[in-house]
Structure 1
Amino acid sequence: MLKRYEGKGFWKRPTTYKPGEQLTEKQISEIEEFLDVELPQPYISLMKEQNGGELYYRYVLFNDGEAALIPYFQELDLETGVGLSSIFSEQFGLPSRQILLTGDMHTWITLDYRFSNTPRVCYFTELENGRWVEEVIAETFEDFLWKLFSKE
C-alpha cells in the first residue's frame, strides 16, 4: 500500500544516516551566502527539524508514473553535505547552480537554480558515456514534497 506525504512525519526515526548538528538562523544564512542561493522555506523548515537523514517518505513519483528511491537528504553544512555541491557538480560534470540534496555519484536529486531564484527539483541519471539525463521532478520544492510516498 502506498502512503503519500501529507506534511508530517518526513524523517525516518531512528535513522542510520547521522544527521548534522541542529541548525541556527546564522548557519542557514552562512550556507545560503556560501552557496549563493536562497533556499526554499519548506526545505529549511525540514532541515531545522532534523539536519539531514533518512526520509520516511523515501520514494518520489515522476510525471510519467515512474518512481525513484531517495535514501536520505544530505545535511546543511559548509564543509560537508550540500556545502560540497559545487565541488561534486564540477567533478561529475553536472550543470552549474545545482544544490545536491542526495545522490550516489550516478544519480542525483538537486535544487536547480540555473533558470530562476526559485529552484526546480531535478533528477540526474548518468549514462554509460558519462553524460547526464535530466528530468524535472517538480517546479518547486513544495510541489516535490507532495510527490513523495512510502510503501507500507
Structure 2
Amino acid sequence: MDRKDFWDITQPAYGPMLTKELIALAERKLNVRLPQLLIHLLNIKNGGTTLGFALPMIQKTIAGDYLAIEELYGITNDSFLSKPNLLHSSYLIKEWGLPEKQVLILGEGHWWVTLDYRAGEEPTVNWIDAENRQDFILAPTFEAFMSRLETMEKYRPLEQNNRVANNTVIWESFIAEEKLIELDERFLKQVNERRRQKGLPDIKKE
C-alpha cells in the first residue's frame, strides 16, 4: 500500500499540521520514541479518517474476523475537547484500567489498538480489550501492522452475509426508523411483509 493512499484527504485532520516541535512534545510527554512510519503518516495528515482498511484478526474478539481501521489518532496539544489523539493515552489508560506503557492509536472505550512499549523501545502493536481481558500482539512492529492491512473490498461480501444472518435486528431498526438505507430487494420484501403484519405502509426503495 502506498502511504499516500492511506488517508481520506477529503476529510479534515484531527490535529494541526505536524511539526518537529509537536513530535518532540509528544515523545517527551509519552516518554517513548514513536515509530518513524507513524510520524511519516502523521506528516501527511495529522490523524483522522482513513480510506477504510481491514486487519484480519488472529484471535476471536468482539471485532469479529477483522478489525475495521477507519481512523488513526494524531497529535494535538490541547484540551479533551479535541478529537482523540495520542496525548490522551495517559488519561485513558487510567480511565479504562489498561496496562502501563501504552500509546493508544485507535479504539472505542473498552477495546484499543495500542503501541505497546512494555518489552522495550521498539513497540509492538497490540489489541487490548479491558472488558473481556484480552491483551495480545497484532503485529511485531508498526510497519508490520501497516503491511497486514487489506482493503475493505475483500470483506464486503462478508458484511452482506452478516446482514442476512441478522435480518431480525435489521427489520426492527428500519421499522422503528421508518426509512430505508441501501437495502437490497430481498430485504425490502421481508421488511414490508413485517410492516404489513404491524399495519404499517410499505417502504419504497428510492
Residue 92 of structure 1 corresponds to 96
* CA pair 54-7 structure 1, distance change in 2 beyond 3 A: same
Contact 1:6 1:146 in 2 (8 A): no
Task: Trace 1:102-113 onto structure 2 (pairs within 5 A).
Answer: 102-113=106-117
> Normalising by the residue count of structure 1, what TM-score does the alignment of the two structures yield?
0.86
Residue 71 of structure 1 corresponds to 70
Distance 1:143 1:7 in 2: 13
Contact 2:93 2:100 in 1 (8 A): yes
Aligned partner of residue 45 in structure 1, secondary structure: helix
Q: Highest CA radius of gyration, 1 or 2?
A: 2
Q: CA RMSD in A?
A: 1.9
Where does structure 1 lack aligned partners over 5 or more consecutive residues? none
How many residue pairs get aligned? The number is 144
Contact 1:34 1:78 in 2 (8 A): no
Greater strand percent: which structure? 1
Q: Which runs of 4+ in 1 moved over 4 A?
A: none
Residue 186 of structure 2 corresponds to none
Distance 2:121 2:9 in 1: 32
Relative contact order, higher structure (CA 8 A, sep 6+): 1
Distance 1:6 1:23 in 2: 20
1:82 partner amino acid: L
Distance 2:103 2:144 in 1: 17
- Among residues 121, 126, 136, which one is paired with 2:125 in the alignment? 121
Aligned partner of residue 51 in structure 2, secondary structure: coil
Matched, 1:29 2:24: yes
- Among residues 54, 58, 71, which one is paired with 2:53 in the alignment? 58
Name the % identity: 30
Greater helix percent: which structure? 2
Distance 2:9 2:53 in 1: 13
Residue 11 of structure 1 corresponds to 7
Matched, 1:44 2:39: yes
Contact 2:115 2:123 in 1 (8 A): yes
> Normalising by the residue count of structure 2, what TM-score does the alignment of the two structures yield?
0.65
